[in-house]
């Protein structure tokens, strides 16, 4: 189950909006009884209903999982300078290492 951020992100994208809408137009909050949308000022798009957020859960969960995988891959790839050195020394070993990282962390 996706968190509210990921559901709202999915709702925005489904309605041809971008994540940049979050920057100054949406405020999510949690006062101890769960996350909720405190502020919604997205031009041309009304605040999502609970039903609309529930519908966005599947895509939101997929986006959340893929974001986690992206971060894991980035950490595993290591420094770009080190990668370039590795490519220079042995491109086949670099390819095998990167493929292994991708295989161990597949996207949905």
pLDDT score at 101:
96
Q: Hey, is 90 helix, strand or coil?
A: coil
| pLDDT tens, position by position, 41-66 | 999 999 999 999 999 999 999 999 99
Question: How far apart are alpha carbons 100 and 92 in whole angstroms?
Answer: 12
Does 18 have pLDDT greater than 80?
yes
Domain residues for the domain of 38 are 4-104
Residues 6+ apart with CB under 8 A from 84: none
| Mean pLDDT of the residues in the chain | 94
Q: How many domains, in total, are found in the chain? A: 1
**Residues 74-90: tens digit of each pLDDT:** 999 999 999 999 999 99
Residue 2: per-residue pLDDT: 81
């Amino acid at each position: 189950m996706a968190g509210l951020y990921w559901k709202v992100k999915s709702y925005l994208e489904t309605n041809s909006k971008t994540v940049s809408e979050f920057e100054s137009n949406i405020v999510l909050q949690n006062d101890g009884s769960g996350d909720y949308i405190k502020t919604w000022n997205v031009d041309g798009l009304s605040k999502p209903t609970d039903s609309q957020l529930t519908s966005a859960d599947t895509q939101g969960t997929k986006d959340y999982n893929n974001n986690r995988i992206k971060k894991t891959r980035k950490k595993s790839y290591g420094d770009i300078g080190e990668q370039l050195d590795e490519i220079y020394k042995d491109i086949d070993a670099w390819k095998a290492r990167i493929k292994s990282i991708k295989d161990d962390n597949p996207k949905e």
